[in-house]
A and B are shown apart, each in its own frame.
Chain A
Amino acid sequence: MLTMAEAVREAMSIAFDERPEVFLLGEDVGIYGGAFGVSGDMYHRYGSERVLDTPIAELGIVGAAVGAALSGMRPIVEIQFSDFTAQAMDQIANQAAKIHFMLGGALHVPMVLRTPQGSGTGAAAQHSQNLEPWFASVPGLKVVVPSNPADAKGLLLAAIDDPNPVIFLEHKLLYKIPGRDPVPEGSERIPLGVAKVVREGKDLTIVATGIMVNKSYEVCEKLAAEGISVTLIDPRTLSPLDMQPVYESVEKTGRLMVVQEGPAHAGFINEVIAQMAGSSSFGSLIAPIKRLAGMNIPIPYAPQLEKAAVPQIEDIEAAAREIVKNWR
């Protein structure tokens, strides 16, 4: 069973083998194998010209990827921590995202920016953020948040094929664990913009992103043993967002809970709530929509403080029980 780091490496390797114009650039992606070991041995397999170590210069790296993408290459950029994309934001949000639209459609930017995000490693506020809404709020960027190795592989292959800039957010805590399902062999793509119904139930619909899918799954298992059945939906891509399975599920369950790691205020998951509120499925709800999200604080350092800052399994479980019990 491959871990997410291995699945991402496998997807990159397949793309490297399929297309000579695909290359990887970033800080320490070469001999070091990437800060989280994602590129691993690719430097030795593909050489220093395709696995390109860069100086510590996020703006320059992403800009160089944009320029290379405009000129016939298909770069994969690794930014060591998603927090450091702040250094590169002009090239991400002002250049890559806008070039196709703003410059009249003749140019496009087939670039993937991969970056680890999220809390749980004790690395404190500047190495632990969840920045999903930053990217999801920029028209022109596609945003992918895989929750397991199998999806990571298929989605990354589709992201590399895509002629548009794609932000690929990998949760650090998922890198070293295998998924529930094995990673398929071969090079099958998972199209961007198609949500996955992870499991089906009749009492509650949970929509969760990234690592919260895994936490929510554990809750679903536990509640199932007690006769509470839950539908769990993983949007997989935040932009474009596939709401159809959410509507269909809520029409059956009548209850909706949304879960994200990032802070509640102006968070991505609020978009799911807003679209639900404006849809014809809204009338099917028999309970207020429950939102579970991180606290509106920077991620703190001490383990007990860090845990308190983002939803934990116990929080999800308690909230799920409450909504099913209180609204009948």
Chain B
Amino acid sequence: MNKCEGQKMSANPLLMGHPLSSTEHARHALLYMCRIRKFEEAVEDLFGRGMMHGTMHLSIGQEASPTGMCMALTIQDQITSTHRGHGHCIAKGADLTRMIAELLGKEIGYCGGRGGSMHIADVETGNLGANGVVGGGIPIAAGAALASKMMKKGTVAVSFFGDGAMNEGAFHEAANLAAIWKLPMILFCENNKYGMSSSTEKAFAIDNLADRGKGYGIPGVNVNGNDVVEVYEAAQIAVDRAKKGEGPTLIIAETYRWKGHSRSDKNLYRTKEEIEEWRLLDPIPKFIARAIKQKKLTQEQCDGIQQEATDAIVAAVNEAVKAKAADPAGLLDAVFKKVSA
């Protein structure tokens, strides 16, 4: 009954474990952060060149959070994601070509061109989907965790969301359900300081968002969301707790989006200086320095990994661009799953 069972492994099977536990793990952490960065840059470029339509929400600057969280997950563990969800999909192991193809409205895209940037799901990697509604995925993750508990799957469900979602009723209702039923769930907040233009200072009357955990009787922990190691370590504790049946954890990962909320953002609500300060806290060079210092990777290896990520994105874009455009002919048949006889 688990949809992940019996299906072939993703082309990029997830590697679990501490990002500095081995060369292989360090390579994985760096590669996935770079894949996210390069993917987002490619998306921005394709928009700039008029090859993509609609809108986009880029997560450049936030790469360490999904990468660290997902290194604590098995391929069967489930996630729900957000409108700013490319990073979550990639960190969970989604296929880059099918992602780009979706954004380009192609038949081979994850949603056959019907969903676009905000709606990528990947059953094979336990990704229950990005969500265009702020907070929409949080109760769904609670339900996935409920199913895991009822079916004794031993899996955990992680809901990624932003600081803005924490003021939605959906967050409150789902956090409470997960807490009272001790569900194997992780409420993972990427606190990037702004819900579109509303700063957390304006939108919250508390300084520390993790304090909200107390209100549900669950742990609330703060991590540096730009530090893949710190994120992984907090994630692993939360996963262990969830899988032991002790219930959910609220993780607040402090991070920052370098780019605007979406295409239309003129950055009127924040200063250039603030953006510049956060750019200096770039999670990628920070991890490279640490991996080299701890002798997990050499500078040469790091250069190679970054090139590998770039090459993978270029190849994905090239393949996706050539793919067949989605065909309106099948739309009416796609609304309902066929009832089997």
Could you list which residues of chain A lie within 8 angstroms of chain B, going by C-beta atoms?
Answer: 21, 23, 49, 54-55, 57, 59-73, 75, 90-91, 94-95, 99-108, 139-140, 142, 161-164, 192
Contacts and interface: CB of A to CB of B under 8 A. Distances in A.
A63 B115 contact: no
Contact of B151 (A70, A72, A105, A142): A72
Contact of B133 (A60, A68, A70, A94): A94
Given A68-B144, A90-B133, A107-B128, A100 B176 contact: no
A-B pairs, 8 with minimum CB distance: A63-B139, A67-B143, A60-B173, A104-B111, A71-B147, A72-B1, A64-B143, A67-B140
B240 to A, nearest CB: 21
A105 B334 contact: yes
A101 B335 contact: yes
Interface string B141-180: 1111111101100000100000000000110111011001
A70 B2 contact: no
Interface string B308-334: 000000000000000000000000001
A140 B337 CA distance: 9
Given A99-B121, A105-B337, 15 more contacts: A59-B169, A59-B173, A61-B173, A61-B177, A63-B173, A64-B177, A68-B144, A73-B151, A91-B139, A94-B132, A94-B133, A95-B140, A101-B335, A104-B112, A164-B337
Contacts of A107: 3, 121, 123, 128-129
A103 B111 contact: yes
Among B109, B139, B337: residue with most chain A CB under 10 A: B139
B194 interface: no
A70 B143 contact: yes
A49 to B, nearest CB: 7
A62 B169 CA distance: 13
B188 interface: no
A289 B53 CA distance: 46
B276 to A, nearest CB: 37
Nearest to A23: B150
Contacts of B136: 63, 90-91, 94-95
Interface residues of B, number: 52
Contacts of A91: 136, 139-140
Nearest to A60: B173
A64 B119 contact: no
A164 B142 contact: no
Contacts of A95: 131, 133, 136, 140
Given A57-B173, A91-B139, A68 B335 contact: no
A103 B177 contact: no
A102 B109 CA distance: 12
B139 A59 contact: yes
Contacts of B173: 55, 57, 59-61, 63
A73 B153 CA distance: 12
B292 to A, nearest CB: 40
A102 B119 contact: yes
23 contacts: A21-B151, A61-B173, A63-B142, A66-B143, A67-B140, A67-B145, A68-B143, A68-B144, A70-B140, A70-B144, A72-B147, A72-B151, A73-B147, A91-B139, A91-B140, A102-B115, A102-B119, A104-B111, A105-B112, A105-B337, A106-B122, A107-B129, A163-B336
Contacts of B2: 71-72
A100 B336 contact: yes
B11 interface: no
A192 B338 CA distance: 12
B78 interface: yes
Nearest to A99: B129
B128 A104 contact: no
A36 B177 CA distance: 24
Nearest to A95: B136
Among A99, A161, A192: residue with most chain B CB under 10 A: A99
Contacts of A75: 143
B4 to A, nearest CB: 10
A55 B112 CA distance: 38
A55 B180 contact: yes
B242 interface: no
A95 B109 CA distance: 20
Contacts of B86: none
Contacts of A101: 114, 334-335
A10 to B, nearest CB: 22
A60 B147 contact: no
Contact of A139 (B147, B174, B335, B339): B335
A142 B336 contact: yes
Contact of B110 (A104, A139, A192): A104
A108 B338 CA distance: 10
B128 A60 contact: no
B115 A104 contact: yes
Interface string B98-116: 0000100000011110110
B138 interface: yes
B1 A67 contact: no
